[in-house]
């Protein structure tokens, strides 16, 4: 039988057009170039959704009811329900392989159980640590019990960064495959756009969600902006999260110069290109060291293409800080607290020649994430076709 006659079944809690998690952006950039007949998707019914991220593929959404069980000790009851859903879909599409994409708890476990019941091989794509990142005690126990089974039994283990590869390879003596965050350069073309002009108001732009991974660093940024009287500075956050939730989480005051807004992904490249400073943060506290070290924000890769100065607030012992030190592509503040962050922000604003040097290096660094090779590698390993490439083409 021709391997292309049956599809890969992708199982993902967050998958486009959902934009609740960063994994959706990664999935969109990977699968937009895969022939839609070569895979089908079952995903969580997460909100908000972005119509511009719709992929032309057969998709089933799994509406989690009741939602109050999602992050509680009762979440385990969702596993058999999702297994039944996967089995029902499999009877319709007859998949040849399962891909567990950026798995969360019951999605990962349900996919593993389904693969055993169906007698099908599976692979796994990990965008983050699993066991180490769980806050809920039951979820951590589930991850501890099932993570070694999934990673040691998977046909392929894909990870999003060299840091995650080192982590999982060391933990389980496996050979995972790094698939760097692929960038669609027709939308995010790397080009220097920084002009170093004096502005009436300087706009610090942050795109993406604020979570435990970066909450304290974003709070530090807000604190810095409160203290700086001259020049005037405004923080703009573009996110799929609720503005009310973020105002509470960031402890914002009515007088804070902070704007929170949701925009379509189509508008994001222009927003990033027009920023005066782009901000990325990682948590200095309330986060385990393994997750902190291996996390590599996908938005940072987009920032590299924007051609504007990047300000990063992250602990010294993280892969993000390591990457910046190696490539000299951003202003890095690796100490907690707002004091050094304030100095770094003013340096980017007041020293345009210095900022210009960082921008040029960022644009050069961005080419590491050309999506052509990343998509070809995934397609080759899972025997899927890249759009516009013949079946007998091989990975570069």
396 within some domain: no
Buried b (16+ CB within 10 A) or exposed e, 110-133: bbbbbbeebebebbbbbbbbbbbb
The pLDDT of residue 358 is 98
302 within some domain: yes
Same domain (yes/no): 83, 138: yes
Same domain (yes/no): 118, 216: no
The pLDDT of residue 69 is 46
Same domain (yes/no): 74, 176: yes
- For residue 344, the domain's CATH number is 3.40.50.2000
Instruction: Give mean pLDDT, residues 266-277.
Output: 95
CA distance 17 to 19: 6
Percent of the chain with pLDDT over 70: 92
Same domain (yes/no): 67, 79: yes
209 within some domain: yes
Same domain (yes/no): 119, 225: no
Same domain (yes/no): 165, 212: no
59 within some domain: yes
- The three-class DSSP label of residue 43 is strand
- pLDDT confidence tier of residue 212, bands split at 50, 70 and 90: confident
Note the pLDDT tens digit of each residue in 309-353.
999 999 999 999 999 999 999 999 999 999 999 999 999 999 999
Instruction: Give mean pLDDT, residues 221-243.
Output: 94
Cβ 271 vs Cβ 295: under 8 Å: no
User: H or E stretch including 112?
Assistant: helix 105-118
Same domain (yes/no): 239, 273: yes
Same domain (yes/no): 263, 284: yes
Same domain (yes/no): 374, 351: no
- pLDDT confidence tier of residue 227, bands split at 50, 70 and 90: very high
133 within some domain: yes
Same domain (yes/no): 60, 125: yes
Give yes or no for residue 75 having a pLDDT over 90.
no
Least confident of 36-45, 67-76, 240-249, 353-362: 67-76
Note the pLDDT tens digit of each residue in 302-320.
999 999 999 999 999 999 9
Note the pLDDT tens digit of each residue in 50-74.
888 889 999 999 876 545 445 444 4
Instruction: Give mean pLDDT, residues 237-261.
Output: 93
The pLDDT of residue 392 is 43
Domain count, the chain: 2
Q: What's the domain range around 144?
A: 3-182+370-382
Same domain (yes/no): 224, 331: yes
Note the pLDDT tens digit of each residue in 88-115.
999 999 999 999 987 677 888 999 999 9
Same domain (yes/no): 243, 214: yes
Q: In whole numbers, what is the pLDDT of the chain averaged over residues? A: 89
Cβ 160 vs Cβ 177: under 8 Å: no
């Amino acid at each position: 039988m021709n391997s292309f006659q049956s599809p890969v079944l992708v199982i993902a809690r967050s998958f486009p057009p959902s934009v609740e998690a960063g994994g959706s952006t990664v999935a969109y950039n990977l699968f937009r170039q895969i022939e839609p007949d070569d895979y089908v998707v079952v995903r969580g019914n997460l909100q908000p959704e972005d119509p511009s991220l719709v992929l032309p593929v057969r998709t089933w959404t799994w509406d989690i009811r009741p939602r109050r069980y999602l992050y509680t000790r009762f979440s385990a009851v969702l596993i058999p329900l999702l297994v039944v859903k996967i089995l029902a879909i499999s009877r319709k599409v007859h998949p040849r392989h399962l891909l567990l994409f950026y798995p969360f708890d019951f999605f990962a476990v349900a996919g593993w159980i389904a693969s055993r019941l169906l007698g099908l091989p599976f692979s796994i794509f990990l965008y983050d640590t699993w066991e180490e990142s769980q806050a809920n005690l039951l979820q951590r126990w589930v991850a501890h019990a099932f993570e070694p089974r999934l990673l040691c039994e998977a046909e392929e283990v894909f990870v999003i960064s060299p840091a995650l590869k080192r982590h999982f390879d060391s933990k389980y003596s496996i050979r995972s495959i790094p698939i760097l965050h692929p960038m669609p350069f027709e939308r995010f073309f790397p080009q220097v756009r920084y002009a170093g002009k004096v502005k009436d108001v300087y706009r610090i732009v942050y795109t993406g969600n604020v979570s435990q991974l970066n909450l304290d660093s974003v709070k530090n940024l807000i604190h810095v902006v409160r203290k700086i009287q001259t020049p005037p500075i405004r923080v703009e956050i573009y996110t799929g999260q609720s503005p009310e939730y973020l105002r509470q989480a960031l402890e914002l005051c009515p007088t804070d110069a902070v704007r929170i807004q949701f925009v379509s992904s189509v508008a994001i490249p222009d927003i990033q290109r027009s920023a005066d400073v782009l901000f990325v943060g990682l948590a200095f506290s309330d986060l385990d060291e393994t997750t902190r070290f291996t996390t590599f924000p996908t938005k940072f890769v987009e920032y590299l293409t924007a051609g504007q100065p990047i300000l990063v607030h992250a602990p010294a012992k993280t892969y993000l800080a390591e990457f910046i030190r190696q490539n000299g592509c951003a202003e890095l503040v690796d100490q907690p607290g707002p004091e050094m962050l304030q100095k770094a922000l003013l340096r980017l604003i007041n020293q345009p020649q210095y900022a210009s040097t960082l921008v040029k290096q960022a644009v050069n660094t961005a080419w590491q994430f050309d999506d052509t090779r990343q998509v070809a590698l995934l397609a080759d390993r899972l025997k899927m076709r890249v759009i516009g490439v013949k079946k007998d083409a091989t990975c570069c």
